[in-house]
Amino acid sequence: MARGFWAGLSGNERGALWMLMAAVGFTFNATLAKTLAQSGMPVFQIAFARAFFALAPLLPFLLVGGLRAFRTTHPVTHLLRAVCGAGAMVCGFYALSTLPLATVTVLGFTVPLFTVLLSVLLLGEPIRWRRWTATLVGFAGVLIMIAPRLAGETGGFVLEWPMLAGIGMALGIALAVIMVKRFPAGESQPVMVFWFCFASILLTAPFALLQWQPPNREEWLLLAGIGVTGFVAQSLIIKAYRSGEASFVAPFDYAKLPIAVLLGWLLFAELPDGATYLGSAVVIASTLYIARRESRLSGRPTAARPEGRG
């Protein structure tokens, strides 16, 4: 019956369901990372484990085809993408150690805004005034969200490091997305995932070893869960965009916010303030507009895809 139900769905409906499952996966991934970060585990150790355990699903490809299956002619681009992605992971895990889960989730929604800016600066892509306006409105939403955190106890200007780290996370993911755009069409997803994880392991290992805290059995399970859920969620996003039109599928990614609010409340006793809700509404509206505008201008269903999450 389940097979018949699935066969009866349209491509867009299947894509929406894949995206909803990806949203659940990424939110659980962040929840596991937050649990470890709040327990005092170093963020570099968490990032190292995220990359290390994400390689596990690729072992069958490695055993069958060997390293030849992951041969690439773009090692520099892979390395740059890994630097950006690993930096984004470290910033994100540090932000999760202090900020509410929902707040970090909303900051992740700003990736399309940074991608617009970086596309102009690094790729020379032309951007029309409407997308510029939507981008500025989106960043205004971020300011609305962080405004209550800008005023210190004495009335001075204070910007918390975790908030800066959350913004750095979004910037790092956007840079990784830009790197993905530099790959030719023939570069397969398994190859990109393999080299991202391998390079991220090399980049984070020295810092992780310097701060290493021997995990207990429960912490090992959480670390493995972070790697596996991250890999699975990323695979689900790929399925979502391959099944349906990106302009239809992309908005379902915002299901992460109510899931994050619920998990933050149940597991960490967190409730977002009014500024977070208002700012997130502005950010979501602006990124949705950018995605729809891009779809109309390109003449085909496209949207900013989160390949750079690693």
For every one of its 310 residues, what pLDDT tens digit does the chain have, with 9 covering 90 and above? 556 666 667 777 888 899 899 999 999 999 999 999 999 999 999 999 999 999 888 777 777 766 676 788 788 888 888 999 999 999 999 999 999 999 999 999 998 889 888 888 887 777 777 888 888 898 998 888 887 766 555 455 556 788 899 999 999 998 988 887 777 767 777 788 888 888 999 999 999 999 999 999 999 999 999 999 998 988 888 788 778 776 678 788 889 999 999 999 999 999 888 888 899 999 999 988 877 766 666 554 444 444 444 4
C-beta separation of 213 from 44 below 8 A? no
Cβ proximity of 174 and 85 under 8 Å: no
Tokens describing residue 297: 């201008």
Separation between Cα atoms, residue 148 and residue 166, nearest integer Å: 16
pTM of the predicted protein model: 0.85
Q: 125 — phi, psi (to 5°)?
A: -75, 135
State the first-to-last Cα distance of the chain, in angstroms, to the nearest integer: 35
Structure tokens given for 84: 């950006």
